[in-house]
A and B are shown apart, each in its own frame.
Chain A
Amino acid sequence: MKRIVLVTGILIAIQSSLYAQVETDRPETFLFEHRNRLQDLQHDLGNTDKTDSSHVYSTDTISREIAYTTYISAGASGFFNSNSISNDFIRRFRYNRTYIDNDLKEQEISRMKSSNRIGSDIKIQLYGQHQLKNKTRLEFGLTYRDFYGAQFTTDAFKLVFYGNTIFAGQYADLSPLSLHSFNYEALYVGARKTLDKQQRVTAGVRLGYIRGNRFQHARFKNTTLYTDPMGSYLSLTGDFDITYNDDTSGAIQRGNGNGLYTDLYFSVKGDRNEFVVEVLDLGFIQWNGMAHYKGNGTYTYTGIPIDNIFSSDGLTVNPISLSSFLDAAGLEKEYKNVTYLLPATLHLAYFRHINPKLTVSAGVRQQFISGYIPRVYAKAAYYIQKNFALIPTLAYGGFGKTDIELGLAKNFNQHLIVSANLFWLEYLAWAKKSSGHGMSVSMSYYF
């Protein structure tokens, strides 16, 4: 088992498109805060000696929370999802980094919609919780996050992977096109408090500081790119803006921005039911010294002017970058500070304990970023043992379409919980015809 955990951890660390949510529906919660309390009742009824366990269960309420002082957790998660880009393309483009041939391009084009979505979200988190007085728990943690979300047209895909030659004498339709990509580190503290004596109502809030690193943002509205049949000029027409920081190298980059955010949490528990509302990543980052282009109209690129090839300076061949293209088209690059909201997430989840062996859950998650549609899901936690659960998930939405996931959670000695959520089935079985894959793992220890 240790060997498996080691391999899994390294895989998570190296791969960049994995999936999990360090949220209320993560697998380990089915053995902790959302554990099946019917098991406790059965346990209590069948066991006259209530002190044979190292943990004492409350019997004056059906909630029967685990009594613990401190809880620490380390986890990593990541996913990639799309409504059009296949897992096969991602594997070859992102993981294997091989040559993208025309067959693969055509395969992807055949899957394209009028509006295509793609996104990935990678998080690594260290989390801690400590019991204070008055049923209040102090929360604290450290997070690294790398987020990418985009919406694009088929023409935009063709433009990137085939070039503009195929558009000679034609307009390439680029709208809707948006891209939002960033990474940051965050440090947060918060509190979670049980509001009633029966411990049925819990609310929490976190406040975090963000150090922003990479930032790329692009938005194109009603935008086309026209290529002259002889290639004499390219003409970009539309309403668009592009913002990015030039320094994008390295995983740990210099800070390019600062921000604040908050997470809000509220749950109500009944005898067999539980309802949770979370608002995550409600905040902003002010990005400093970003390169910024903004245009609304028609911008024509006719080549990089050179003064005089006969001058003593001679002729210099420079690579033509997006920047030099936009500059030559008459767009002025400016450097400015910009503030962007984080893509906040609203998550509603409902849990029902059917019997001591089975808890089901359903929920909906909306991330407020273009290209993301509400993601609805249904989960079932089947307790093979009281301390070991299998949690299959069926979901639809988000950046992708229908997804199947399988969660595992195991409690060792009622102190250590190890869990994983595997979103691999489609990737392994139907890579060319499916989109979306990811994984999460976490280890938690409480005492």
Chain B
Amino acid sequence: MRQTFHKLLIVILAAAVAFFSCKREFEKPRWDAGVLAPLVKSKLTIRDIVKDTAKVKTETDNSITLINRQEIFNYTIDSLVTLDAPQYHKLVKLSSLKLDNQTITRRISLGEIANQLIAQGGESADIGNNIILAHNLGKIGFKVPIDPINDISAGPIDIDVNQFFKTADLLSGTLKVKLENGLPLEITNIQFSLKNKNLGDVIASPSLTNILPGEKDSSVVDLAGKVVEGNLLVSINDMDIAGSNGTPIKIDTANALIVELSISNISVHSATAIFPAQDVVNDTTDVSLVNLDDVLLTQAIIRQGTVRADVYSTAQDIVSFTYKIPGAIKDGQPFQFDAVVPAAPANGTSYKQFNQDFSDFDMNLRGIDGDTFNTFKNILVGRIDYTGEIRTLSLDDSLDITLTLIDAKPSYIKGYLGKDTVAVGPDDIDIDIFKNISATTLDFESVKMNVVFDNALGIPSQVKLQELTARNTSKGTSATLTGPVINNPQTINPGTENPFANTTTTIDVSTGSNATSLLNLLPDQIHYAGEFASNPGANPLPTDDGTEPLYQQFAKSNVDLKAYLEIEIPLSLIAQNLVLSDTVPFDTKSFNASGSAALKDGRFNLLVSNGFPYDAVITMYFLTANGAKLDSVVTSATPILAAPVDASGKVTAPQFTNVPFAFTEAQLHNILNHSTQILFKARFDTRPSAQHVKIYSDYTVEFKLVGDINVQVNSGQ
């Protein structure tokens, strides 16, 4: 029993699961039903038909004018000038090398002198021994009278100045030798010499006389052109000491001569030394822009650009330098950049490149003295800093600097912007205002054709239209403009700077010309040729102050001088067989995916309320993705009738037309499953046929597509 129950329970559960899982309805019942209902509706004005509403202008009487404006010429600030500057190259040797003033003191004791006398032997040794004896007696309290001693010589004695320099090749400088007599006796005469220890050459041989005990005397020696080493030797060549005139005196060998050497105002050609901080290069020059022909600029604001510096240095010390263009100002600060070039290896070269953004600087181009054009002042300062370390530098060391202004473009220039003559064309422009339109007869009541110059540049200019030809390339027809404008120079007024404003110069090419016949061709291409000249008048006076009006010309980036070909066609026309055509995408994916009902046979009624004074026949070609024709719907059997017009040619009321078209199930299936685009062709005839009819902005045509169709509900499900 229990087993039976379990089996039945499983059956019930399985049945429940089956119920849920099988609930999805794979099929649905089908039936046919007739649907009579509007499907879609649309209301079109001329602004809908002409897709680009910018080309539709509503006049004050609500009539419509088609406008086509296409650019044919563009003259920009970059067309005018390029801010090419020559590379600024400077090979500068160190202009000066200075060493700090230094003083060194050397104490030469009497004992040191006595020992050197003893070492000399002979009479000198006696003197030396006597000095030692007198010193020893003095130590036990005895004083001894000293007789005059002459012709004492001593030395050489080392003097070490390596703490200041190892060696220096002096261009200038002085050596002051000061001697303080620390002996108890007067020195009546002393001659000594100072020489390089290694080279052995004598740097100075000063002599002093009559220096009383405790007193000082000095002698100054010019060091120009001399080489001084860090290891010096001083020698007393001849020293005479007065005696004590019989008076016993106490002799102490610790008493000494104090020699003080002071060097000052030292400028070296080269030195291995600890150099103080000092400018080693200082150069100020003018740089002139090139390739400007007759352009004379007084000012330029840089839109973009970079200053690049390539620096080579042979100096074995870090060289800092500053590059500065004082006449280029941004945010109140001049253009400047500071850079450091590393120390070069011995007998080698170091290199460094620097880049600095130059955009947005306002440049004064009047040069150092403010009396020239296209020129800016630049300053280069190089310096070494105190490091506390011994370096070898020479005036033969150099900085090789190349400054380059890279890809500089102005956002603003001022000055005389030069004469220029530019050929405009010959060239062709495609115009699409008549694209997709054809007609057997087309007669515009009037047209306007202008060449419009919109000038934001502060340059007087002139243009000459040499040729203007309209072409209908599909028909192979063309017509060339004739009239007073052809080959007749026209002046283009400059823009104004204060306040900044464009000036528009319109050159009417339709008055007195055959412009209407050009447009009646429904051209798709305009061929043109002409000549543009800037500053066609006189050259500026050779003045230096830049105040002459011709120097007030300007140009800015982002604004320019443009020329447009402007066509205005008031929509008042006679047309026969005027055909508009257009291809639009046709998307049935959503409909086909829904599968809610399948369309069978039936018919569509196109209910049209036509507010235009045109008879119309509409043809729809259903195309495949590659443009092949699948099927078509043509309303020619029941043309859409034109709305009636009153005596003034204005539509009085819309005209209603029902255009039926039947279809089979196979046709619909074909269209809905295979068509991806529709080619619309609308053929119009103006009514009344021999009268120009005007189109107004409030004219509309209302379409409503009504389906009177049989559907099969749930078909395919």
CB atoms of B591 and A231 under 8 A apart: no
Instruction: Name the contact of B590 in the complex, choosing from A5, A6, A249, A318 (C-beta under 8 A).
Output: A318
| Assembly CA distance A58 to B229 (angstroms) | 140
CB atoms of B33 and A163 under 8 A apart: yes
Question: Is A14 interfacial (CB-CB < 8 Å)?
Answer: yes
Q: Tell me the smallest distance from the CB of B585 to a CB of chain A, in Å.
A: 3
- Given A13-B18, A74-B9, A413-B1, CB of A301 within 8 Å of CB of B38: yes
CB atoms of B594 and A161 under 8 A apart: no
Instruction: Name the contact of B29 in the complex, choosing from A99, A231, A315 (C-beta under 8 A).
Output: A99
Question: Is B23 interfacial (CB-CB < 8 Å)?
Answer: yes
List residues of chain A with CB within 8 A of the CB of B680: 309-310
Q: Tell me the smallest distance from the CB of A150 to a CB of chain B, in Å.
A: 17
Q: Of all chain B residues, which has the CB nearest A183?
A: B23
| Assembly CA distance A232 to B703 (angstroms) | 11
Q: Tell me the smallest distance from the CB of B18 to a CB of chain A, in Å.
A: 4
Pick the interface stretch among B161-169, B245-253, B704-712. B704-712
Over the window 372-416 of chain A, the binary record of Cβ atoms lying under 8 Å from chain B Cβ atoms (1 yes, 0 no) is 000000000000000000000000000000000000000011011
Q: Of all chain B residues, which has the CB nearest A314?
A: B585
CB atoms of A311 and B51 under 8 A apart: yes
B15-29: which residues lie under 8 A (CB-CB) from chain A? 15-16, 18-25, 27-29
CB atoms of B39 and A314 under 8 A apart: no
List residues of chain A with CB within 8 A of the CB of B585: 312-315
Pick the interface stretch among A90-98, A192-200, A267-275, A360-368. A90-98
Q: Of all chain B residues, which has the CB nearest A102?
A: B32
List residues of chain B with CB within 8 A of the CB of A415: 1, 5
CB atoms of B12 and A320 under 8 A apart: no
CB atoms of A443 and B29 under 8 A apart: no
List residues of chain A with CB within 8 A of the CB of B31: 99-101, 105, 161
Residue in A99, A124, A163, A230 whose Cβ sees the most chain B Cβ within 10 Å: A163
| Assembly CA distance A195 to B582 (angstroms) | 86
Question: Is B670 interfacial (CB-CB < 8 Å)?
Answer: no
CB atoms of B587 and A315 under 8 A apart: yes
List residues of chain A with CB within 8 A of the CB of B49: 310
CB atoms of B5 and A416 under 8 A apart: yes
List residues of chain B with CB within 8 A of the CB of A430: none
Question: Is A339 interfacial (CB-CB < 8 Å)?
Answer: no
CB atoms of B29 and A100 under 8 A apart: yes
| Assembly CA distance A76 to B18 (angstroms) | 13
Question: Is A316 interfacial (CB-CB < 8 Å)?
Answer: yes
- Given A99-B30, A232-B704, A445-B5, CB of A163 within 8 Å of CB of B584: no
CB atoms of A9 and B11 under 8 A apart: yes
List residues of chain A with CB within 8 A of the CB of B13: 74
CB atoms of B29 and A76 under 8 A apart: no
List residues of chain A with CB within 8 A of the CB of B34: 162-166
B61-82: which residues lie under 8 A (CB-CB) from chain A? none
Question: Is A307 interfacial (CB-CB < 8 Å)?
Answer: yes
A207-248: which residues lie under 8 A (CB-CB) from chain B? 227, 230-234
Question: Is B434 interfacial (CB-CB < 8 Å)?
Answer: no
Over the window 426-447 of chain A, the binary record of Cβ atoms lying under 8 Å from chain B Cβ atoms (1 yes, 0 no) is 0000000000000000010100
CB atoms of A168 and B36 under 8 A apart: yes
Q: Of all chain B residues, which has the CB nearest A125?
A: B16
| Assembly CA distance A312 to B19 (angstroms) | 50
Q: Tell me the smallest distance from the CB of A52 to a CB of chain B, in Å.
A: 18
Question: Is A302 interfacial (CB-CB < 8 Å)?
Answer: yes
Over the window 119-133 of chain A, the binary record of Cβ atoms lying under 8 Å from chain B Cβ atoms (1 yes, 0 no) is 000001000000000
List residues of chain B with CB within 8 A of the CB of A99: 29-31
Over the window 150-168 of chain A, the binary record of Cβ atoms lying under 8 Å from chain B Cβ atoms (1 yes, 0 no) is 0000000000111111101
Pick the interface stretch among B40-48, B255-263, B490-498. B40-48
Residue in A305, A320, A416 whose Cβ sees the most chain B Cβ within 10 Å: A320
List residues of chain B with CB within 8 A of the CB of A230: 605, 607, 658, 706
Instruction: Name the contact of A309 in the complex, choosing from B35, B39, B584 (C-beta under 8 A).
Output: B584
CB atoms of B605 and A416 under 8 A apart: no
CB atoms of A233 and B29 under 8 A apart: no
List residues of chain A with CB within 8 A of the CB of B14: 9-10
Instruction: Name the contact of B23 in the complex, choosing from A9, A160, A250, A302 (C-beta under 8 A).
Output: A250
Instruction: Name the contact of A231 in the complex, choosing from B11, B44, B677, B706 (C-beta under 8 A).
Output: B706
- Given A6-B11, A97-B28, A316-B590, CB of A231 within 8 Å of CB of B38: yes
| Assembly CA distance A249 to B717 (angstroms) | 14
CB atoms of A2 and B8 under 8 A apart: yes
Q: Tell me the smallest distance from the CB of B41 to a CB of chain A, in Å.
A: 4
Q: Of all chain B residues, which has the CB nearest A89?
A: B29
| Assembly CA distance A168 to B707 (angstroms) | 12
CB atoms of B707 and A13 under 8 A apart: no
| Assembly CA distance A412 to B4 (angstroms) | 10
List residues of chain B with CB within 8 A of the CB of A66: none
CB atoms of B582 and A304 under 8 A apart: no
CB atoms of A13 and B711 under 8 A apart: no
List residues of chain B with CB within 8 A of the CB of A255: none
CB atoms of B590 and A416 under 8 A apart: no
- Given A14-B18, A231-B708, A308-B42, CB of A165 within 8 Å of CB of B35: yes
Q: Of all chain B residues, which has the CB nearest A309?
A: B42
- Given A231-B706, A317-B590, A320-B39, CB of A251 within 8 Å of CB of B12: no
CB atoms of B16 and A231 under 8 A apart: no
Instruction: Name the contact of B51 in the complex, choosing from A6, A165, A305, A310 (C-beta under 8 A).
Output: A310
| Assembly CA distance A412 to B585 (angstroms) | 72
CB atoms of B8 and A13 under 8 A apart: no
Q: Tell me the smallest distance from the CB of A367 to a CB of chain B, in Å.
A: 23
Q: Of all chain B residues, which has the CB nearest A415?
A: B1
| Assembly CA distance A250 to B34 (angstroms) | 30
Q: Tell me the smallest distance from the CB of B633 to a CB of chain A, in Å.
A: 13
CB atoms of B29 and A92 under 8 A apart: yes
Instruction: Name the contact of A165 in the complex, choosing from B8, B36, B594, B704 (C-beta under 8 A).
Output: B36
Question: Is A46 interfacial (CB-CB < 8 Å)?
Answer: no
Question: Is B192 interfacial (CB-CB < 8 Å)?
Answer: no
CB atoms of A317 and B704 under 8 A apart: no
B597-616: which residues lie under 8 A (CB-CB) from chain A? 597, 605, 607
Question: Is A321 interfacial (CB-CB < 8 Å)?
Answer: yes
Q: Of all chain B residues, which has the CB nearest A304?
A: B40
Q: Of all chain B residues, which has the CB nearest A413?
A: B1
List residues of chain B with CB within 8 A of the CB of A320: 37, 39
| Assembly CA distance A308 to B700 (angstroms) | 12
Residue in A9, A312, A415 whose Cβ sees the most chain B Cβ within 10 Å: A9
Q: Of all chain B residues, which has the CB nearest A73?
A: B12
Over the window 277-314 of chain A, the binary record of Cβ atoms lying under 8 Å from chain B Cβ atoms (1 yes, 0 no) is 00000000000000000000000011111111111111
Give the A-binding residues of B (Cβ under 8 A): 1, 4-5, 7-9, 11-16, 18-25, 27-31, 33-42, 44, 48-49, 51, 582, 584-588, 590-591, 594, 596-597, 605, 607, 658, 672, 677-678, 680, 703-708, 710-711
Give the B-binding residues of A (Cβ under 8 A): 2, 5-6, 9-10, 12-14, 16, 74, 76, 92-94, 96-101, 105, 124, 144, 160-166, 168, 227, 230-234, 249-252, 301-321, 412-413, 415-416, 418, 443, 445
- 6 closest Cβ pairs, A-B complex: A314-B585, A165-B34, A251-B23, A163-B33, A303-B38, A13-B19
What are 12 A-B pairs with beta-carbon distances under 8 A?
A2-B7, A93-B29, A163-B35, A164-B35, A165-B708, A303-B706, A306-B42, A310-B48, A316-B586, A318-B590, A319-B591, A319-B594
Can you add 6 more A-B contacts, CB < 8 Å, to A9-B14, A234-B37, A318-B590? A13-B16, A168-B36, A230-B605, A311-B51, A314-B678, A412-B4
